[in-house]
Amino acid sequence: MARAVRKIDLFLIPAMVFGFGLVFYDKAILGSAVLFGMTTDLELSLVDKSTTPPKVDTTRLSWATSLFYFGMLAGLYPMSYALQRFNVGRVLGFLVILWAGVCMVTAAVTTYKGLYAQRFFLGFVESVIPTGFMCIVSSYYTQAEQSMRQSWWISSTGLFGILGGALNYAFAQITTGGLHSWQYIYLLAGSLTFFFGLFCFLIPSSPVSAWFLTKEERFAAVERLRYGQTGVRCIKFKKSQLKEAVMDLKIWLIAIMMASAYTVNGAVSGFGPLIVSTFGWDTLESILFQFPLGGLAFITILLTGYLGSKIPNIRIIMLLLCCLPVIAGCAIIWKSSWTYHAVAPVVGYSITGSFGGVASLTIVLGMSNVAGHTKKSFTAATIFVAYCVGNIIGPQLVRSQSKSQHYPELWTGLIICYVICMAASVALYFVLSSENRKRDAVVGSEEERANLAFQDLTDKENPYFRYVL
């Protein structure tokens, strides 16, 4: 059994880390590309020289950032249906290769309107990755194992924040050739995505069809899931499970938490380096300061994932603790002095990286507390609809007109969102703990428990399912 888990880990986890890292990287490229001439080339900002000093309007850049997530919103539910109904590897492989093409086309865009269209379609095809990965983890691993495995692939946002920053810094040194440096970055990202797409065709849909396991290992991998009562993949779409999911309070609490948490990412991915440059640092230094933020996100995600897999019912407590540095960081940035080479706002900016732990724990809480394949697919899609909503809101909070006041709308907006996230987390704790107490009072049998494990029941239909906190 341990050998089966180890082989599943070695096959799936590196692939998911690389794949979700690419999702983060080609979104975050925009934040650095605007410092490399993209803003001027595509007219993403408008300068009003009739005033002193001139006013800069970055509304177009905000929409270029947000439109990616509108594309994701359009694709999430169709992609979730396709992943349940058809072969996972083929769906992922085809769409990832299409994603690679859309990414590389960015280098050929010549107007901000063209970038708007590219960003929308990029989000549409990329929407298959997060929902696919969440469903893969919930199909291969038990509840106890999911915390660590979900955190591994989500941690690539922090890891690729560092690696991507290093690559962007390197491309910034290119001053010759027929293309601008930001165009080379998109060509690289698209090429890496293409090779990942080829690999995706090899991903099996569930442990039952895992070709890299022996017959005995496949049997052991499936039997492990019996105890957790989460079941294995079922390709039949069940309207009853969809109806239950829509009426399930905990799913909507999770959605509120996710939307609130990811407002930070929306602002950072599109405007992070640009905002840091207003602290009194030059273009290259602004890119380098993405490293500590990415590093903290990486460490926080892995640490909370590890502790969540070792200590029972600690996830919501950790989530609340991870919210506090984000709130503190926003307050520090807002109220500190933005002078030449200012240190305080950079420190505040860096500690907001703990938002990675909030987002990771929200995904874990959502996916480990539902059962039934249709319901799990709906939950995965709903979580990432909320992810998109947060990422759409974040860039819209950046008002270039209030730069001299330190973007008060941005920092107050993010603080309010994280207070909402904490309130929803507390409500979720009471909902789940109350349901567990009711179920613990009912006496059952091990024979019935085993018989119900693989009947594709939802968490509400199965009295032996227990919620993790």
- Strand, coil or helix: 453: coil
Q: Which of 268, 24, 263, 242 is nearest to 133 (CA)?
A: 24
Q: Which value, in Å, is the radius of gyration of the alpha carbons in the chain?
A: 22
Q: What is the pLDDT of residue 229?
A: 47
Please name the residue that has the structure tokens 């001439």. Answer: 37
Q: Where are the domains of the chain?
A: 12-203+237-452
The continuous run of DSSP H or E covering 146 comes out as helix 143-154
So what's the pLDDT on residue 454? Answer: 56
55 - beta bridge partners? 48
Q: For residue 46, give the 3-state DSSP assignment.
A: strand
Q: Residue 242's pLDDT is what?
A: 84
Q: What is the pTM of this model?
A: 0.76
pLDDT score, position 59 = 78
Q: Take residue 131 and report the two structure tokens written for it.
A: 């929902």
Three-state DSSP at 47 gives strand
Domain 12-203+237-452 part of CATH 3.40.50.300: no
Give CA–CA dist 388/66, Å, rounded: 8
Cα 193 from Cα 96, distance rounded (Å): 7
SS3 250: helix
**Average pLDDT by consecutive 10-residue portion of the chain (469 residues)?**
83 89 80 72 72 69 82 82 81 92 89 89 88 79 75 82 77 72 86 92 83 82 63 62 88 93 76 69 71 85 86 91 93 81 82 88 87 81 85 78 75 92 95 87 61 66 81
Please say whether the beta carbons of 251 and 321 come within 8 A: no
How much is the pLDDT for 179? 78
